[in-house]
Amino acid sequence: MTNSHIDSLNRILGQTFGLYVQTHGYHWNVEGPGFLQHHALFEEQYRNLWSALDPIAERIRSIGAYAPGSLSELVALAKEDPAPAHSAAEMMDALIAAHEALATELREAIALAQEAGDEPSAGMLTDRLGWHEQQLWMMKASRK
C-alpha cells in the first residue's frame, strides 16, 4: 500500500475521533428549545462515530501499518479544534461544517484506496461517507 493511502486512513481515523469528541461534548452541553431532539441526535451520532473508530484502526493494521494509538497523534490528525459552541444552533452549524470536512476527506481517501487496489478500504470508507451524507441531510433539513 502507498504511504499516501495509509496517511489518508490515518487522517480519517483522527478526524473521526475529533468529531466524536466534539459531538459527545455537544451532547453533554446542549440546552434550550429542542434540547431533547438535539441531545438524542448528538448521542446517536457520537455512538456511531465511536463505533467507527475500531474498524478504521483495524483496517490500517490489516494493510500492514500501525494505527495512531496516542491521544496526541489522534488530536494532531483531527485537524483544528472547533470553536466553542454554546447554543444548539451553533452546535448544529459546527457539526454540519465538521461532517462536510470529513466527507471531503473521505472522498479523497476512497480515491486513494481505489488507486492502491484496496477495495476493502474503499468499501468501508464509502459506507462511512454514506452515513456522513445522511447526517448532513438530516441536520441541514432541521435548520430550515
| CATH (domain of 98) | 1.20.1260.10
pLDDT at 1 over 70: no
pLDDT recorded at residue 86:
87
- Domain, as residue range, for 60: 3-142
Report the pLDDT averaged over residues 103-125. Answer: 96
Specify the number of domains making up the chain: 1
3-state DSSP helix/strand/coil percent for the chain, to nearest 5? Answer: 80, 0, 20
Residue with cell 473521526: 16
**pLDDT for residue 2:** 76
The whole-model pTM stands at: 0.94
Measure the CA–CA gap between 10 and 57, rounded to whole angstroms. Answer: 8
Q: Provide the CA 20 distance to its chain's centre, in angstroms.
A: 7
State pLDDT tens for residues 25-72.
999 999 998 999 999 999 999 999 999 999 999 999 999 999 999 999
Residue at grid coordinates 448528538: 42
